[in-house]
Structure 1
Amino acid sequence: MESNQVNYALLFADMRRHLLAVRPTATIDITKEIKEFFRSRFSSTHNVLCSHATSSEYLTDILVSTFEPKTVLRQRTLELIPSEVNVLLAAESELGGVGASSAYGVMKNVVEDYLKLLIIRCQYRVMIFTSLPYANEVEHVLKRVELLRSLYQRTAGLSSGVLLVHLCGSQPTSSQVQALVSEESIRGFEISADGLSSKEIDIRAIDVSAA
């Protein structure tokens, strides 16, 4: 795969493989491994900005760029350092947080972060999220995907599509949602470039030799 091209299906397959190899359980550890995946995948060719021991996030949870925002200028001469200012990929991970103890609260947090991806200028967009169903709600994950697709379609000027990675959520008590990592819990969806449709990624149909 070219360094400036991203195949959403392959990216999902690789992220899923990474999470299943580590199998983190706590939300903080799942988030940590998601960031680790993007660092390992893109750091050889791009700057990967996210909260970490050696870096901090910028605009979104994960930003894969051709430049380092804090070192754009030379200190003494004010000379511009980067040859180009370009964002290859932006990603948000929303697996809980404040108020994430109901179907509405969880999705409200997801949408707030998802909007960042829609208004930032970048080539590719990835949203990793969890959800909870309402009482007696059927196929709630597909409904959440449809909501995000519709929001993408309503945003002018987008042509990248979006990779949606959904981790099933559980709520054993009245506390906030807990995302799960297992073969069955991780699902990928791709919103089309024009926003008119979305499709679930069939992990069995992915040609891993193309990675």
Structure 2
Amino acid sequence: MAKARMNAEARRLVGLLQGRRVARLAVSEPEGLEEAIRKGLPYAAFEALMRALGLRAQDLARLGNLQLVRVWRICRRRRAADPLGGRGGLHVPGRWHARGTLIVYTSATLSLAALELLVHADRDLVPADLVQIEIDLPDDLDMERVEAKSLPANWKRYPAPSALGRIGRGWIERGKTAVLRVPSAVIPEESNYLLNPAHDGIKRIKVIGRRRFVLDPRLTS
């Protein structure tokens, strides 16, 4: 029954797309939709389809049995071997944590990860050994979310107000989820995803790619 329902939803999605090109593929049949998903159908497209059809994210994910949430991290080469270890938080405090915390900061897009790097680094001293890490979060992995409207008016300030650190500490101490989605102080309309390496759910989070990351020199000149 569930498979039949998914096939029906796939046909409805195909009808909505009406042969338009998605992820460089013309989608005119359910198999084409699944291939488009595998080729990287943007999450924004998923959201538009969900709104149009009244589907849940989980329903669309099952069409291709794929993960919907892809996040990015940029780090030094020495951290790239264990990008989900969170050991950097043991030595350096952050907006959502205190020094001594195992935590991993990731961003919803690679470009946001680059901006987060730039605002926290001296532009004359940006490391030359940066690595971009591509990470998939399972669509059915529970996560908590912090909305910008629930935060103090000065939440984007630097240094960050202590209230944000308390939110991060509370999330870590509760230990209910491996992921906390928070608004970015750089671009509040976009999100960062905090990962808790001490949570069992971290085992289901997969690193799917690593490659050298080079900033355009105009950004550091």
Do both share a fold (TM > 0.5)? no
- Identify, as 1 or 2, the structure richer in helix: 2
TM-score by length of 2: 0.23
TM-score by length of 1: 0.24
The structure having more radius of gyration, on CA atoms, is 2
